[in-house]
Amino acid sequence: MCDFGFIRIAAAIPELKVADCRFNTERINRLIKQAVEKEVRIICFPELSITGYTCGDLFLQNKLLEEAEKEVITLLEDMKDLPIVYIVGAPVRINNRLFNSAIVCSEGKIQGIVPKSYLPNYSEFYEKRWFYPAEKGFPKEIEYANNPVQFGTNLIFGYQNKKFAIEICEDLWGAIPMSSHHALAGANLIFNLSASNELIGKNEYLHSLIKQQSARCIAGYVYASAGWGESTTDIVFAGNGIIYENGTLIAQSDRFELEEQLVISDIDVERLNSDRLRISSFRDAVTDGEYLFQTLSALKPKEKPVPLLRPVNPLPFVPTNESYGESCDEIFSIQTLGLAKRLLHTHSATSVIGISGGLDSTLALLVCIKTHDKIGISRNKIIGVTMPGFGTTGRTYNNAVRLMQSLGVTIREINIEAACKQHFKDIGHDPEVHDVTYENSQARERTQILMDIANQMKGLVIGTGDMSELALGWATYNGDHMSMYAVNSGIPKTLVRHLVKWAAETQVGEETARILKDILDTPVSPELLPLGDDGTTSQCTEEIVGPYELHDFFLYYTTRFGFSPEKIHYLAEQAFEKKYSPNEITKWMKIFYRRFFSQQFKRSCIPDGPKVGSVNLSPRGDWRMPSDASDTLWRIE
């Protein structure tokens, strides 16, 4: 069985008539069947959805309470053969006390009843007039709807690692929401049955509550609130179906609609559990308090995964459109501040940087510019060194020189061909053999030049290599692998491109912007092999190691969440459906794992550099991996 850790859930906003239990149950019935057709595993309805929330003193009428219980029985019978868990709201009477309750049902049985803990009794709310708050303590068994049922707040439901718990409306608004306790007891999904009326500004505040609570609990949060059918007298209900996953909104309903709604999405429970395992502060707070776990066999994984309803971002390292400019500015600021500290701490007079006319050195130069401007050191104290070699094209050489001229840095040009030929002679290497020795000698010659100039000018060598190259080991050991501060070490290749693009559009003048745009259009290449007859490079990095957008995708889900190759492949198929075939994804994934494991020794001794995002490969920070670990398990899968 395989669902890759996803579970499909729904928040339902049914059509409703206050105090008409039969009508309400029919509408609930209809939405449950629609959800089953869409492969939903758990569906949640609003607070008191069997009776309606705004019944007022009708809650004290025996007829209403008896009818509500009768309709729950009807629902159990009608839904008994459907492979779904459904959560409805109803008033439940126990020993002359009435509880505002959530009823969890599947397979023709009530699996548990959860009462509301915090009863609002202010402004337009009068719940304490009719209901009794949940009593603390271990769940107890009651009789309801001809079922012996566990009743209490300390109930968790689920199957294996998919576990959910319930809170009801105001339980979220308390100083310590009930879901906080549920999450620490193991629930990774929270369902909230609500009847929250509309006020100006309230919806924004509600979203902030759910966003923060889902993030704080590292949980999926599904919120279903009463629709327009509850609107009466002085209050209006707009129908709010909201789904968050660890602080990220993944689905929501349209408010103020007259039609019933079904808000469906897929929550990645494995992703949530991975974060809980990784974040020590969450682990340390976990409690083994008195909770009863109810196993629901209806939630067993299906034989085959279904296509996801939620989008999978093919560029997980790149900021979203909503926060694009702000995030790019923040990333530059992190890089700038890190470099500023290193320059000032070492009393360095200059920054020395190799400029190739490629993306990585361009980004590093832009960071140097911002840093020198920030700390008040003239740009002419940036020593930009272009070092043409056997594979340097006219395009990259000209872009390197023009870029440095436009930014006002000091330019040095040192051709490395003669030095490399002498080196080949010294070590007895045939310069016509264009092997790894031929290529790496050039990279190490360039690094030696930069290091010596830094000594000469009392400065630091600023590294240009990015995180994607570190992941794949696409760097020459003790060549471009080494520097005195690596400003791009936390930036993957896909993000490098976007940062340069953003800088071209917002941070520089027209002349520099034109140069940056041409650099963006230049194929990625190390330019270490002789040029072709037409003067163009014979090396294209992505033809050799594979597309960086795929490798960055693999890197993100491998290091950030520890996902298996099989799941990452499944996600890649969703994200790159029209761009790469499954066989192409498999081909490049094999190369990723082979290189990622075999090249760890390079990452074990990389220079300092600023951490920018949630993934970093520094051995002193995020990624501590043996240099000689085997890739067998990953390769086999």
Q: Is 36 helix (H, G, I), strand (E, B) or coil?
A: helix
Instruction: Give dist(CA 136, CA 483) in Å, integer.
Output: 60
pLDDT in tens, 369-379: 999 999 999 99
Residues 286 and 336 in one domain: no
pLDDT in tens, 84-137: 999 999 999 998 999 999 999 999 999 999 999 999 998 888 999 999 999 877
Share of the chain above pLDDT 70, in %: 99
Mean pLDDT, range 312-325, rounded to an integer: 92
Domain membership of residue 374 as a residue range: 321-636
Q: Which of 169, 328, 368, 420 is catalytic?
A: 169
Q: Is 44 a catalytic residue?
A: no
86: domain CATH number is: 3.60.110.10
User: Which of 620, 592, 593 lies closest to 604, judged by CA?
Assistant: 620
Residue at 413: amino acid letter: E
> What pLDDT is stored for residue 233 in this prediction?
81
Q: Is 116 a catalytic residue?
A: yes
pLDDT in tens, 385-430: 999 999 999 999 999 999 999 999 999 999 999 999 999 999 999 9
Q: Is 124 a catalytic residue?
A: no
By DSSP bridging, strand 241-245 and strand 220-225 are antiparallel
pLDDT in tens, 153-180: 999 999 999 999 999 999 999 999 999 9
Residue 304 lies inside a defined structural domain of this protein: no
> What pLDDT is stored for residue 171 in this prediction?
95
Q: Is the pLDDT of residue 1 over 60?
A: no
By DSSP bridging, strand 382-386 and strand 350-354 are parallel
Residue where the block lists tokens 């929550």? 267
Residues 441 and 524 in one domain: yes
Structure tokens at 362: 């361009």
> What pLDDT is stored for residue 523 in this prediction?
85
446: domain CATH number is: 3.40.50.620
Looking at 269, 299, 329, the residue that finishes a domain is: 299
Instruction: Give dist(CA 46, CA 87) in Å, integer.
Output: 9
Residue 218 lies inside a defined structural domain of this protein: yes
Count of CB atoms situated within 10 Å of the CB of 66: 12
pLDDT in tens, 29-87: 999 999 999 999 999 999 999 999 999 999 999 999 999 999 999 999 999 999 999 99
Residue 24 lies inside a defined structural domain of this protein: yes
With bands split at pLDDT 50, 70 and 90, how would you rate the model's confidence at 288?
low
**Domains in the chain, number:** 2
Residues 338 and 262 in one domain: no
Instruction: Give dist(CA 346, CA 327) in Å, integer.
Output: 29
- Transcribe 445-471 into DSSP letters: HHHHHHHHHHHHTTEEEEE---HHHHH
The pLDDT mean for the chain works out to 94
Residue 207 lies inside a defined structural domain of this protein: yes
Instruction: Give dist(CA 42, CA 299) in Å, integer.
Output: 8
pLDDT in tens, 564-597: 999 999 999 999 998 999 999 999 999 999 999 9
Mean pLDDT, range 476-480, rounded to an integer: 95
Q: Which of 55, 69, 116, 493 is catalytic?
A: 116
Q: Which of 47, 198, 230, 270 is catalytic?
A: 47
Instruction: Give dist(CA 495, CA 502) in Å, integer.
Output: 10
Residue 311 lies inside a defined structural domain of this protein: no
Strand partners, 189: 164, 220
Instruction: Give dist(CA 51, CA 194) in Å, integer.
Output: 13
The torsion angle over the Cα atoms of residues 489, 492, 498 and 504, rounded to 10 degrees, is 30
Instruction: Give dist(CA 263, CA 251) in Å, integer.
Output: 7
CA distances from 167 to 113, 119, 125, 351 (A): 11, 12, 18, 57
> What pLDDT is stored for residue 2 in this prediction?
67
Residues 348 and 408 in one domain: yes
CA distances from 457 to 350, 440, 478, 608 (A): 7, 26, 21, 21
